[in-house]
């Protein structure tokens, strides 16, 4: 090790670079990936920086293999990370599921561009939000964070690593091209001021250890290979020993626990920003780059005396149901701008119910919203 | 006060680096808010290349230009593409050997600098963008001169500091012939 892992100080950098630096500051020492616009700069920073801090960078043959390297590296004792965009995210879906069923901590950064398919490599989209939740087969719960600035790309990558260790699963940083390629000031704290969640290692002796027996919070502790423990890690349904058991008796408790370790701890996971909600009649819900456009619109509405508030999602998954439900009981309606044709707005509508309108402000991608389009919908709901 | 600055030229002139330096000067060394975005991708290759900077005392929400205060043009194509976006009371800076303009009526103040010639005098044409940054600071005070110098020194290759500072100083000291078109007056 010859270089600083934590670049304490003030920088002017992109969201992509900040996500990479956030990973390094969180202790990530393995990156397996395949470059793809607009996430390439994450890969570039890691390729340049990891060898100097005692880490390993591998450019893999594709994104399926990349995702698997994360799982292997994590079980080998490292904190691991990758970055990609739409087409690569699709390829990572199968092995994201392997990460979920094997309860492997790691972080996947998706710098979203316009799709479907190769779509708009260089231009913004937020079209992978439902894929993040449902893209891998089988039932699962996920944690996905959406940064709105390079500073948050740094901060939330650290949160993502902490959640991944706390709850033992792959965590998604759902960035977008605008935030990924935007330069802003990023303040990196001193290493000792960055709070990190350490890997949960079992206290059981090797003879007593059951690798998939959970603690009270439904999360099982891990081991360090080479310390005398024997663990079988499989994508098949398994019992607490980790061996394949292909029947309903094993499937029911395992899949329920994989979901419940998130749903039952959700109150500790939810992150969101509340702006001027107290007297709001209309609430805008947004995330990522769109939250900045939405906040500008909300400020303009307030200046005109309109009672409009803003709920900015930081954890899109788990979706913060309690605050949305609470607001739905007393406001006139939700307005949900997003750079897709209606994804998180479906979740808002599900939770808000049919009593009040939830109106998406759709945008198929390529550019951020025109603020006037959001204004127009707010005016409609306020009528 | 919010200011929107676009620097434009062609690939290889250090246009994106210039935007980065302006943003870093404002955000890191002047303690203001600054956001820089760049025209990116195939649409930005081999033709008019540009970087967009916003500097403000308050947090910047919408990160793209809506109301351009300052255009610094290092190529004809860049000038042609963006000059009509400048506010009436804005300012257009240009490399006077590379840009000829048909001044549109009632728009902006125009000020020329021989940025590329200054760089050639110094023996390295690649510092033309830094001469333009010196001119930009002197004519618009968009950042402090100290902040801009610190940002330049932090961004250029080691060993080229003196060269870049000379280019900055020559641009900074240049006295342009002011061309006022329409009713515009400064920024």
B62 touches chain A (CB under 8 A): yes
Q: Is-contact B6 B52, C-beta < 8 A?
A: yes
Count: domains in chain A? 2
Of the residues A132, A165, A193, the one at which a domain ends: A193
pLDDT for position B100:
87
pLDDT per residue over A187-234, tens digit each? 999 999 999 999 999 999 999 999 999 999 999 999 999 999 999 999
B1, pLDDT greater than 60: yes
B55 touches chain A (CB under 8 A): no
Residue B127 lies in a domain: yes
| Residues of B with Cβ-Cβ distance to A293 under 8 angstroms | 61-62
Same structural domain for residues A16 and A142? yes
Chain A, window 116-155: residues with a beta carbon less than 8 angstroms from a chain B beta carbon: 121-123
Residue B105 lies in a domain: yes
Mutate one of B16, B28, B143, B151 to test the A interface: name it (highest A CB count within 10 A).
B28
CA-CA distance, A104 to A98, in Å (whole number)? 8
Residue A214 lies in a domain: no
Same structural domain for residues A61 and A165? yes
Provide the token pair at B39: 């025209």
Identify the CATH number of the domain in which residue B152 sits: 3.40.920.10
Identify the CATH number of the domain in which residue A33 sits: 3.40.50.970
B117, pLDDT greater than 80: yes
Residue A278 lies in a domain: yes
| Residues of B with Cβ-Cβ distance to A368 under 8 angstroms | 62-64
B183, pLDDT greater than 50: no
Residue A57 lies in a domain: yes
Residue B187 lies in a domain: no
pLDDT for position A169:
98
pLDDT for position B140:
96
Q: Which domain holds residue B164?
A: 3-180
Same structural domain for residues A16 and A164? yes
pLDDT for position B157:
95
CA-CA distance, B53 to B18, in Å (whole number)? 10
Residue A210 lies in a domain: no
Mean pLDDT on A256-264: 98
pLDDT per residue over A133-169, tens digit each? 999 999 999 999 999 999 999 999 999 999 999 999 9
pLDDT per residue over A290-338, tens digit each? 999 999 999 999 999 999 999 999 999 999 999 999 999 999 999 999 9
Mean pLDDT on A271-287: 98
Q: What residue of B is the nearest CA neighbor of A178?
A: B37
Same structural domain for residues A288 and A164? no
pLDDT band at B184 (very low <50, low <70, confident <90, very high): very low
pLDDT for position B186:
41
Residue A260 lies in a domain: no
Residue B38 lies in a domain: yes
Residue B40 lies in a domain: yes
How many H helices and E strands in chain B?
6, 7
pLDDT per residue over B35-91, tens digit each? 999 876 565 555 678 999 999 999 999 999 999 999 999 999 889 889 989 999 999
Count: domains in chain B? 1
pLDDT for position A70:
98
Q: Which domain holds residue A34?
A: 9-193
Mean pLDDT on A5-16: 98
Task: Please give the biggest Cα pair distance in chain B.
Answer: 45
Task: Please give the biggest Cα pair distance in chain A.
Answer: 69
Q: Coil, strand, or helix at residue A183?
A: strand
Q: Return mean pLDDT, chain B.
A: 90
Comparing A178-187, B37-46, B95-104, B138-147, the range with the smallest average pLDDT is B37-46
Q: Return mean pLDDT, chain A.
A: 97
Q: What is the CA radius of gyration of chain A?
A: 21
Same structural domain for residues A187 and A48? yes
CB-nearest partner of A12 from B20, B61, B64:
B20
Parallel, antiparallel or unpaired: strands A79-84 and A28-33: parallel
pLDDT for position B19:
97
Please give the backbone phi and psi of residue B5, each rounded to the nearest 5 degrees, phi first: -125, 130
Of the residues A139, A163, A193, the one at which a domain ends: A193
A39 touches chain B (CB under 8 A): no
- Tokens 């699963």 — which residue? A169
Identify the CATH number of the domain in which residue A315 sits: 3.40.50.920
Bridge partners for A176 per DSSP: A112
pLDDT per residue over A85-140, tens digit each? 999 999 999 999 999 999 999 999 999 999 999 999 999 999 999 999 999 999 99
Of the residues A193, A223, A256, the one at which a domain ends: A193
Smallest CA–CA separation between A175 and chain B, in Å?
16
* Predicted structure pTM score: 0.96
Same structural domain for residues A35 and A148? yes
Residue A212 lies in a domain: no
CA-CA distance, A28 to A225, in Å (whole number)? 18
CB-nearest partner of B35 from A37, A182, A293:
A182
Residue A80 lies in a domain: yes
Percent over 90 (pLDDT), chain B: 73
Residue A211 lies in a domain: no
pLDDT for position A99:
98
Please give the distance of CA A124 from its chain centroid, rounded to a whole number.
17
Same structural domain for residues A44 and A171? yes
8 Å CB contact of A178 and B28: no
């Amino acid at each position: 090790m010859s270089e600083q892992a934590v670049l304490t100080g003030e920088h002017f950098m992109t969201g992509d670079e900040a996500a990479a630096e956030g990973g390094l500051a969180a202790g990530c020492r393995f990156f397996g990936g395949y470059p793809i616009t607009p996430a390439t700069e994450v890969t570039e920073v890691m390729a340049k920086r990891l060898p100097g801090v005692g880490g390993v960078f591998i450019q893999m043959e594709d994104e399926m293999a990349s995702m698997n390297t994360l799982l292997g590296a994590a079980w080998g004792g490292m904190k691991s990370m990758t970055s990609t965009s739409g087409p690569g995210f699709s390829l990572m879906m199968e092995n994201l599921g392997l990460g979920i069923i094997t309860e492997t901590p790691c972080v996947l950064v998706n710098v979203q561009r316009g799709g479907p398919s190769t779509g708009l490599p260089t231009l913004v989209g937020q079209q992978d939000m439902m894929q993040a939740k449902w893209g891998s087969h089988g039932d699962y719960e996920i944690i996905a964070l959406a940064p709105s600035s390079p500073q948050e790309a740094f901060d939330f990558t650290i949160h993502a690593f902490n959640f991944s260790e706390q709850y033992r699963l792959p965590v998604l940083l759902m960035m977008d091209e605008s935030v990924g390629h935007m330069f802003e000031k990023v303040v990196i704290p001193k290493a000792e001021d960055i709070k990190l969640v350490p890997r949960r290692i079992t206290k059981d002796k090797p003879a007593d250890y059951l690798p998939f027996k959970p603690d009270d919070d439904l999360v099982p502790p891990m081991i360090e290979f080479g310390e005398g423990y024997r663990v079988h890690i499989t994508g098949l349904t398994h019992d607490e020993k980790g061996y394949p058991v292909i029947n309903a008796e094993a499937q029911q408790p395992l899949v329920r626990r994989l979901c419940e370790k998130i749903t039952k701890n959700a109150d500790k996971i939810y992150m969101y920003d509340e702006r001027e909600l107290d007297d709001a009649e209309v609430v805008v819900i947004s995330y990522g780059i769109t939250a900045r456009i939405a906040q500008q619109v909300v400020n303009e509405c307030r200046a005109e005396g309109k009672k409009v508030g803003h709920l900015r999602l930081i954890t899109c998954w788990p979706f913060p149901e309690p605050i949305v439900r609470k607001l739905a009981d007393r406001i006139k309606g939700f307005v949900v701008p997003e750079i897709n044709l209606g994804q998180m707005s479906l979740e808002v509508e599900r939770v808000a119910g049919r009593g009040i309108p939830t109106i998406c402000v759709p945008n198929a991608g390529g550019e951020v919203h025109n603020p006037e389009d959001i204004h127009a919908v707010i005016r409609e709901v306020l009528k | 006060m919010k200011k929107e600055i676009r620097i434009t030229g062609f690939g290889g002139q250090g246009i994106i680096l210039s935007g980065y330096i302006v943003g870093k000067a404002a955000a890191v060394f002047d303690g203001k808010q600054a956001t820089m975005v760049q025209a990116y991708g195939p649409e930005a290759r081999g033709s008019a290349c540009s970087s967009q900077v916003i500097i403000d005392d308050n947090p910047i929400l919408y990160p793209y230009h809506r109301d351009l205060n300052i255009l610094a043009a290092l190529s004809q194509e860049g000038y042609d593409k963006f000059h009509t976006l400048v506010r009436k009371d804005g300012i257009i800076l240009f490399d006077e050997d590379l840009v000829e303009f048909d001044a549109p009526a009632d728009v902006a103040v125009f000020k020329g600098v021989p940025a590329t010639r200054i760089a050639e005098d110094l023996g390295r044409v690649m510092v033309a963008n830094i001469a333009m940054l010196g001119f930009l600071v002197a004519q618009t005070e968009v950042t402090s001169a100290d902040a801009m110098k610190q940002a330049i020194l932090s961004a250029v290759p080691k060993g080229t500091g003196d060269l870049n500072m000379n280019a900055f100083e020559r641009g900074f000291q240049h006295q342009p012939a002011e061309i006022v078109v329409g009713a515009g007056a400064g920024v």
